[in-house]
Structures are given as C-alpha cells and as structure tokens.
Chain A
C-alpha cells in the first residue's frame, strides 16, 4: 500500500450566492457577467458560475498561507465589485426562499492512480458525518426551517451530494455526486462534496487544511477495505444526525454513542501529519477548534439571525446579507456565542414512521430516510409485521406504505 498523493495539493470550488437589493439571487446572465468581470480582475481565481451561483475555483496549491492569502484577495475583490453594483454576498449552504442548495467542494490532490483514489474515497466515508456536522450551514431552505441544521445535506443537496457508495477499485466506474468523489476524469483529485457553502474565508481555508490532513491520513493508513454492513449503517445514521443537530449531534460507532465533538477532536489529531505537508497545523485551525469546543456551527449563527428576524425567510435573507458585509461576522459571533449542549438522541424509526402517510411510495422514503437502503427494508418489514404500517403496490409495482392509524 503506497502513499497516493504526489504531491499533496489543495483547492476548492466554492459556490456563493449574490443577492440583489431585494434579497433575490442574480439570474444566470447577471451571474455570467459578474464571473467575467471577476476573471478579468483576478485571473488565477478561475471564477465561474454554477447556474446562477458564483463559483470561486481555487487551483491546486501546496501551501496553506498561499491558500489563505489568495482566498482573502479574491474575497476583497469580490466585495468591491459587488459594492459597486449595490449587490450583496450571501455565503451559506442554501438560500432561504430560493431553490438549489449551495456547496463548498474541497479538492485534494494530486492523485492519478484509480486504486489510490478509490481507497481514499472509501476511507473518507467514516469522516463524512463529522464533516457534515462541522460544515452545517443551511438551516433555512425553501422556506423550511426547524428540522435540520443542514437541509442541503438532508436533501442530498438535491442529488449533488448523495450518501456515499463504497468503491471497489477494480469494479467501479467514474461517478458524480457522492459525498466523496473520485475526480480523475476532469482532474487529479478526490473531492469532498458534502460540505455546505461556507460563510467565512478563514473557516473555508481551515476546512480545506483539515480535509487534506484527513485524506492524507487515509491514504497512508487505510487499506480501503469496505466497511461491514453494520458500520455502513452507522455512517448513514450519523450523516442524518449530523444534518439534524450539527456539532451537538451524538453519533453511533461500534455499538456505542460517540459525541460529534469527540470524533472531531480525534480527527484533528489524525490530520496533523497531512496538514504539515501543506505547512499548516492544528494551531492554524482556531475557528474550527472553537466551533468544536462550543458545538457551534454556522447554522447556529444563521438561526440566531433568523430568530431575530421573526422567522420570516425574506426578512432573514436580506438581514443575513447585511450581517455578512462583515467578513469576520461568523468568527465574531463564535467568540460571543454560548457553548451548546449535546443534543438528545433522535429516534430514526420514529422519524421514518412520521414520514409515512397514505400510500407513501418507497422511493419517497428512500430519499428522506436516515437508514441505509438495506436497513430501510428491514425496518419497514418490522413495521409491517408489527401492524404499524401496511404495504401496497402502485400500478407500476412500486411498494407503498400506509400508516395504520390513518386508515
């Protein structure tokens, strides 16, 4: 098992929304024109668009300080350009009342060997849930709120960050859209896609360093063996709990309850060697460490503003953009914010039953479920056996489920 990254490089494609005065997003043409101007002003930032979002694409870098300084220079230019037009930056994992979630995708290279990439993809699966918790930043999404700290992850990023499939190096095709993705067709990286759009440049760079450290660790120490069924089921449950509770979540691992806080503290430890390769250390991750210590996420920051704005998504979008004029807003919030308590354990079966109504199609359950697909079938069979739900079929043969108390 040889080391895979030759050399270790970092980059990102970081989506962000730009709002007009009303709080509405730019349309695609306006976003294209804005990206054109940014490419002229900051050629190395390779700014593009993803539909009507601006996407900052940082090319492969080998040094944390360079990543930070370039990212800050880009942000400074972006803010000046937007100010000239009366527009505002909204960096979050989702817009409160418009569609399409917003992601911050982290790329770690340089890898050119399919076996290595598949091994890293498999090994990173265990870290997805803690990273989801750490990056949670979409608690208000399509006018919805209250159930998740990252609706983006809960919705599988509208099929742009779907729960991870385990790769078998000899029998895996290139695919797109998983939480962790092999990018050997268009690049030479492994991509972490599960992260919500990030609010602060400093935090984004810290997350990139942490991810690089973790992938380095996996490449060095993980043989890429697929997890057993029980471990995979834990990963899926943890992903759901992370989406619901952020850093206050409690995960399940090996039959025990493990707080997200503890799991992330351990991850900082194992990421150190890799971070050294890009000249970063745990000391550079001040924001991340304070978040873990307080169990506070960017989503909690958003929710604080949302509460003040009377839970009105339109008021909130405008005011959040006003708050985000301050580039250090999240760090400032974090310093003054109280530590959050550990969240109670959410019952996934109760959640599943609640989602079943009359003739609810299996496909709908599969989308919103906290269970791995095989686990879902087992739980549904148990619910049918207990008489809690009944099973039927659509005319196309798709299974449907009806809650017994509704008929």
Chain B
C-alpha cells in the first residue's frame, strides 16, 4: 500500500506494440529519482529520498514520458526502494513467550514493533500515531483491515488498524500520522507525544502482551501540564483563577476485518442497555458526499464496555474490550473491506498536573480458542444484563472517585464474583459479570468452567 513519488531523469524507448484493443503502447526504460511519499500526508523514510533507480514501464502513445515527469510507483515498485535488498517480509506469528521485536512488517521502509506471545501477534507503527496496525491470532489472519490507501479531503489517509483520536481536536486531528517517541521493554513498549492541541496535553500509550493472555493490551494516558502562561493564584483582575483544566474525549477508530465471501455476514455486536445490538455490515453500492461519515452511522449508549466484530458464517471474530463507556459510535463505512468502528469515551476534565487513563484490549477469537483460558471481564458501569466474553479491567483513574457500589477488587485480592450466564453468538455460552474496579487497570487471572455460577477470581499484584 505504500507508494513513492519519483521524477523521471531519463526515458529510453524500448519497443512498441499494439495492445489487444488495438491501441499503441510504448515500452520505456526509465531512470528515476525518489522525491518522497506519493501521499503527502505520509512521510517516506529520509534514507530513500533522493535514491535513484531504474524501472521499465509501458505508456499509451503518443504520451511518452519526458524528463521531469512525475510518476507514482505502485507498492511492488516502491518496495525496491523502501526495503533493503535481500530483506524478507515478516509474517506475524505467535512466539513461545511474550516479547517485542522490531521488523518492517508492511514494507513501508519504517520499523514496526511486533508484539507476540503464544496466541497472538500484533504490529504497532510508532511513526503513524502508534496505531495497532495488524493483529493476528493463531490462524495468522489479520483481524484489522488494511485498506487500499484512500484519501479523504486531501488531508487524511485511511491506513487501517486501530488508531486513537481526540474528539476535541476535530477530525482527523494530529495523532493518526504523528511520529511517537518509543521506549521498549521485554514484552511491552511505551509511545509518547506532546500534542499541539489541546495545548499542554501529552499522550502516552503503553502496549503490551502477556504470556497467558490471548490479546494485545493498550493503555492510553492523557496528562495535562497546564497552560504555560498562567502564574499565581489570581487572574489580572485580582479574582481567584479558575482551575486550569482542559476537556478530552479519547476515541479509538478501527477497521475490523472478519470478512468472508459475503460482506453482510459480518456483524458487530454491542451490548447496549439491556440488549445485545447487532449491526450488520452492508457494503453499499456507492459512497456519499460527506467527509467523515459514510452512508450509515449507528450510535449506541453502550453498556458493558466491549464489542465483538465477527462473521456469522466463517466464525472469525475480534473482541474488543475498552475501559471507557457511555458512548460508542459504530460507523459502518462504504469504502473499507470491513466495518469501521469508532469508540468514543465520555468527556474527561483534566486538571493541571493530573492524568486520565483509558484502556483497551484486542482479542482475536482464534487466539482465545487456542489459549483455552477463560479470561474474564470487568467493565465500568452498573450491571446491565450485557455480557463480556472475557476479561480485563481497564479503568480510568479519573473515575475512581465515583461512588461505585459493589466489589472492591484490590491487587492481590481474591473474590468470588456472581456470574450471569448468557448466550453470546460470537463466543457461545459466556459467563459474565460487571465489576466496578478500583485500580487504574489490571488483569484478572480467572478460571471458569461451563455451567459455573461463581467465578474464583484472583487479582494479580
């Protein structure tokens, strides 16, 4: 999907022929020089700019190439410049233990971080918003769509995977293609960037895998350093200053891919208040003029914070748990290979010096099956009858102060949780509970047997 823009330095005719329709084509040997990425919003690696190379192309005559002409290279032509000779494409595959490695997974000339464990393998692009580009379970099939580069309004490029955005900065904002700093550990990496807007806000994203967990975990922390101009406790009029704060609403936009041959057998299941809503993906015949929403949007007040994207016929599924509730926008797009989903948190007021955390976990169904682990749930909010097929507690620390009833799970604690039995098409019989937890986020190591009514739950710590 990565294309370079080149200038023609020299064009030598290398024959001509009539194509099957009777039109005259000329073949040319071209000497070209790389100018940069063919899509302006995506940077090419600095090392390839200025590289020269040769290629052969046909042109419809009489429109022969001329010195100085610009051409766009297709992905295979671009790869010759972007990927060092002899380098092989890296397939995402599970590893014996959880680890992070570095590889150019998509041949764009930039290194991705590859997170893998015995069940999953995922790639994160530090150079493009630290997006989770790909996620494969045991089958090796990517559960995120990698759309053909599609440009919207000349500003934004649909790149696939799962990317963060802030509602307050408008669409598309600055995160989606921003370069993040990166710090890696054995099974995780932390990406960071100070945002231009809102001023004073920094975004840190921790991505990790664990040996026993059939998914990739993400925790996004938004911290606010305050407005630089403010000093003292009073404003110019001698009045006490209002608290220095800024509002943020984090969102995740992702294009899932569980497609089989029939597009409309792809569904997204969302536990809304008291019901499981099913949104079917209908790839419409054509698009619509609007920029950011195409054809059909569905909005849900979400209950338990998870959704499942799955194919009814094929059985493929991707479960997504997220540590923020209230509002979810499910936006079914026309120009993706599969449904696009936007998850959006409710607004959080960030006071100077404070931060808020938002978590998410992405779990392919085949990884879940392979793990044999009945990991379980825990979400924000009140019990609502919704179900969660597996479990992580992913919490915003800003919410801790809320008067949440029920269980008080602490690190190192052990509690029995009453479960609700429920049929969930994506996961079969699911035992679920809604647990308002207290810590910022932590995994629950749980075991459950079918038919169980109680879950012994150990909170690691």
Where the two chains meet, the residues of A that have a C-beta atom closer than 8 Å to any C-beta of B are: 20-28, 52, 97-100, 142-143, 151, 154-156, 158-160, 304-305, 307-308, 310, 312-315, 317-319, 322-323, 326, 329, 332-333, 336-338, 355, 357-361, 364, 367-368, 406
* Contact residues of B between 36 and 51, Cβ < 8 Å to A: 37-40
Q: Contact between B154 and A142 (Cβ–Cβ < 8 Å)?
A: no
Q: How far is the CB of B441 from chain A (nearest CB, A)?
A: 35
Q: Collect the chain A residues with CB atoms within 8 Å of residue B62's CB.
A: 332
Minimum CB distance partner of B5 in chain A:
A22
Q: Contact between A367 and B284 (Cβ–Cβ < 8 Å)?
A: yes
Q: Contact between A357 and B287 (Cβ–Cβ < 8 Å)?
A: no
Query: Which of these, B3, B22, B148, contacts A338 with CB under 8 Å?
Result: B22
Q: Contact between B335 and A143 (Cβ–Cβ < 8 Å)?
A: yes
Q: Contact between A151 and B262 (Cβ–Cβ < 8 Å)?
A: no
Q: How far is the CB of A132 from chain B (nearest CB, A)?
A: 15
Q: Contact between A304 and B60 (Cβ–Cβ < 8 Å)?
A: yes
Q: Contact between A142 and B150 (Cβ–Cβ < 8 Å)?
A: yes
Please report the C-alpha to C-alpha distance between residue A304 and residue B20 in the assembled complex, in whole angstroms.
11
Q: How far is the CB of A363 from chain B (nearest CB, A)?
A: 9
Q: Collect the chain B residues with CB atoms within 8 Å of residue A307's CB.
A: 19
Q: Contact between A338 and B21 (Cβ–Cβ < 8 Å)?
A: yes
Q: Collect the chain B residues with CB atoms within 8 Å of residue A26's CB.
A: 154
Q: Contact between B289 and A314 (Cβ–Cβ < 8 Å)?
A: no
Where the two chains meet, the residues of B that have a C-beta atom closer than 8 Å to any C-beta of A are: 3, 5, 19, 21-25, 35, 37-40, 58-60, 62-63, 65, 69-74, 148-155, 262-265, 280, 282, 284-289, 291, 312, 335
Q: Contact between B280 and A358 (Cβ–Cβ < 8 Å)?
A: yes
Closest 3 CB pairs of A and B: A368-B285, A155-B286, A357-B264
Q: Collect the chain B residues with CB atoms within 8 Å of residue A313's CB.
A: 148
Q: Collect the chain B residues with CB atoms within 8 Å of residue A22's CB.
A: 5, 37-40, 72
Could you name 10 residue pairs across A and B whose Cβ atoms are closer than 8 Å? A100-B289, A159-B288, A304-B23, A304-B60, A308-B19, A314-B39, A318-B72, A322-B65, A358-B264, A364-B285
Please report the C-alpha to C-alpha distance between residue A154 and residue B286 in the assembled complex, in whole angstroms.
8
Q: Collect the chain A residues with CB atoms within 8 Å of residue B71's CB.
A: 315, 318-319, 322
Q: Collect the chain A residues with CB atoms within 8 Å of residue B74's CB.
A: 310, 312, 314-315
Minimum CB distance partner of A322 in chain B:
B69
Q: Collect the chain A residues with CB atoms within 8 Å of residue B19's CB.
A: 307-308
Minimum CB distance partner of B58 in chain A:
A308
Q: Collect the chain B residues with CB atoms within 8 Å of residue A364's CB.
A: 282, 284-285
Given known A-B contacts A21-B35, A22-B37, A143 and B148 have beta carbons under 8 A apart: yes
Q: How far is the CB of A156 from chain B (nearest CB, A)?
A: 8
Q: Collect the chain A residues with CB atoms within 8 Å of residue B3's CB.
A: 314-315
Query: Which of these, B149, B280, B289, contacts A99 with CB under 8 Å?
Result: B289
Q: How far is the CB of B273 from chain A (nearest CB, A)?
A: 15
Q: How far is the CB of B120 from chain A (nearest CB, A)?
A: 29
Q: How far is the CB of A19 from chain B (nearest CB, A)?
A: 10
Q: Collect the chain B residues with CB atoms within 8 Å of residue A156's CB.
A: 286
Query: Which of these, A308, A329, A357, A367, contacts B286 with CB under 8 Å?
Result: A367
Given known A-B contacts A22-B37, A357-B262, A98 and B152 have beta carbons under 8 A apart: yes
Q: Collect the chain B residues with CB atoms within 8 Å of residue A318's CB.
A: 5, 38, 70-72
Please report the C-alpha to C-alpha distance between residue A109 and residue B121 in the assembled complex, in whole angstroms.
65
Q: Contact between B72 and A314 (Cβ–Cβ < 8 Å)?
A: yes
Q: Collect the chain B residues with CB atoms within 8 Å of residue A23's CB.
A: 38, 72
Q: How far is the CB of B200 from chain A (nearest CB, A)?
A: 27
Q: Collect the chain A residues with CB atoms within 8 Å of residue B151's CB.
A: 24-25, 97-98
Please report the C-alpha to C-alpha distance between residue A156 and residue B39 in the assembled complex, in whole angstroms.
28
Please report the C-alpha to C-alpha distance between residue A297 and residue B60 in the assembled complex, in whole angstroms.
16
Q: Collect the chain A residues with CB atoms within 8 Å of residue B40's CB.
A: 20, 22, 24
Q: Contact between A322 and B286 (Cβ–Cβ < 8 Å)?
A: no
Given known A-B contacts A322-B63, A329-B63, A360-B264, A142 and B285 have beta carbons under 8 A apart: no
Q: How far is the CB of A338 from chain B (nearest CB, A)?
A: 4
Please report the C-alpha to C-alpha distance between residue A307 and residue B19 in the assembled complex, in whole angstroms.
10
Q: Collect the chain B residues with CB atoms within 8 Å of residue A312's CB.
A: 72, 74
Q: Collect the chain B residues with CB atoms within 8 Å of residue A310's CB.
A: 74
Given known A-B contacts A158-B286, A318-B71, A338-B21, A27 and B265 have beta carbons under 8 A apart: no
Q: How far is the CB of A91 from chain B (nearest CB, A)?
A: 15
Q: Collect the chain A residues with CB atoms within 8 Å of residue B288's CB.
A: 158-159
Q: Contact between A154 and B154 (Cβ–Cβ < 8 Å)?
A: no
Minimum CB distance partner of A156 in chain B:
B286
Of A155, A323, A333, the most chain B CB neighbours within 10 A belong to: A155
Q: Contact between B282 and A314 (Cβ–Cβ < 8 Å)?
A: no
Q: Collect the chain A residues with CB atoms within 8 Å of residue B150's CB.
A: 97-98, 142-143
